[in-house]
Each structure stands twice: as structure tokens, then as C-alpha cells.
């Protein structure tokens, strides 16, 4: 909507400039330019207001400031994981082979599971997992692997229950396997 507002605004300015040099249609072009300028400004204002309202609504629904979620997400390097079966698309296999990166890099330069820009589209069953989560989670290696497998199973169940929706940002803000398992278990119990 913002781009449309800018295009209309530029069109209004062009009409005004053309009207100055074309005396035959001066008044007509001047009226059209003022209408276009007004519509462009109105669209830019509506775009800005709706974006701020959307951010306020998200902050209210999540009860967490979005800036702090971004900071929490970027304290880890994230890896793409897939389900490991024959239904995994080539794009997801390629993304899983990429080195870990910050969440900001994944969102801005790569992609996210379920965004729709992989071969499996919106039905992507993959997830993002902090690559350095194992070093944060206390316990021995066998316990951590058991928790990781349990978490993988829960992610699969979450994807199936939500028609392959992306995991919510609150999930990524949790910094240990136990918390993530509890979050997904609670979600699945509440949404049976």
C-alpha cells in the first residue's frame, strides 16, 4: 500500500510539472495533480497508521515487546531442520545443509519454514532450531539427544495440527529443550 501511495504521489507531481509547461491543459492537469497528491498522501497515512496498529495488536496479543523477541532470537545461531523422510523437498534439504546463521539473516536473506518459497510451499514441515541450544541446555549428551528427538516429534505434531503453520515467535524465544517441549505440549493439549 505504501508503494502505491508513493507511485500516486509521484504521478501527481509529474502532472503538476507537465501542467506548468503545457498551457492548453493547465487547469485540468493542475486539478488532476492535486487529486493525485491528495490520494497519495492519504494512502501513505493509512499505510503508516495500519502498520502501527498491527504492531500494537501483536504486542498486546503476545504480551511481549516485539523488539525484545528479536533480540532473544538473535542471541542464537539458527539451523534449518527437516523431518528426514522421503517427503522432504530439495529446497529444504539445501537449506538444512546451510551453516547456522542469526534469525535476522534467515528472515531477511534466506527464508523461514512455512513461508511458502520452498518447493513444499506452505506445507513445509521443517523448523528452525538454535544451533547452539545444546550448549545452553544442561545435562549429558544422551539426555539432550533424547530431548531433541522428543522435540522433533512435537514439531511434527504441531505442524500437522496447524496445517503446517510456522512455529510462533514465542517458541523461538525459549532457550532450552525442556521449555520448548513444554510450550509445544501445552499448545497441542489446548488445541486438540
pLDDT digits (tens, 9 = 90+) for 109-123: 887 777 777 888 878
- Give dist(CA 170, CA 188) in Å, integer: 15
pLDDT at 166: 82
Of the ranges 9-13, 122-126, 179-183, which is most confident? 179-183
- Looking at the predicted structure, is the pLDDT value of residue 66 above 60? no
Residues 6+ apart with CB under 8 A from 120: 87, 88, 89, 91, 92
User: Phi/psi zone of residue 100: left (φ > 0), alpha (ψ -120 to 50 degrees), beta?
Assistant: beta
- Give dist(CA 50, CA 5) in Å, integer: 14
The Cβ of residue 114 has, within 10 Å, a number of other Cβ atoms equal to 22
Q: Share the mean pLDDT of the chain.
A: 74
Mean pLDDT of all residues in 72-100: 80
- Looking at the predicted structure, is the pLDDT value of residue 155 above 80? yes
Minimum mean pLDDT range among 30-44, 84-98, 158-172? 30-44
For helices 141-161 and 177-190, what crossing angle results, to 10°?
30
- Give dist(CA 95, CA 174) in Å, integer: 23
Evaluate if pTM is beyond 0.75. no
The Cβ of residue 149 has, within 10 Å, a number of other Cβ atoms equal to 10
Amino acid at each position: 500500500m505504501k508503494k502505491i501511495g508513493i507511485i500516486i504521489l509521484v504521478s501527481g507531481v509529474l502532472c503538476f510539472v507537465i501542467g506548468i509547461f503545457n498551457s492548453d491543459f493547465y487547469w485540468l492537469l493542475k486539478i488532476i495533480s492535486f487529486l493525485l497528491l491528495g490520494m497519495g498522501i492519504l494512502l501513505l497515512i493509512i499505510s503508516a497508521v495500519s502498520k502501527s496498529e498491527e504492531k500494537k495488536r501483536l504486542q498486546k496479543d503476545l504480551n511481549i515487546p516485539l523488539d525484545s523477541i528479536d533480540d532473544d532470537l538473535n542471541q542464537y545461531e539458527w539451523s534449518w531442520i527437516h523431518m528426514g523422510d522421503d517427503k522432504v523437498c530439495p529446497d529444504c534439504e539445501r537449506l538444512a545443509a546451510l551453516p547456522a546463521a542469526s534469525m535476522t539473516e534467515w528472515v531477511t536473506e534466506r527464508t523461514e519454514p512455512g513461508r511458502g518459497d520452498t518447493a513444499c510451499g506452505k506445507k513445509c514441515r521443517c523448523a528452525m532450531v538454535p544451533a547452539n541450544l545444546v550448549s545452553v541446555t544442561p545435562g549429558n549428551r544422551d539426555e539432550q539427544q533424547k530431548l531433541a528427538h522428543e522435540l522433533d516429534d512435537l514439531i511434527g505434531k504441531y505442524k500437522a495440527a496447524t496445517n503446517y503453520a510456522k512455529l510462533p515467535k514465542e517458541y523461538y524465544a525459549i532457550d532450552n529443550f525442556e521449555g520448548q517441549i513444554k510450550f509445544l505440549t501445552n499448545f497441542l493439549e489446548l488445541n486438540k
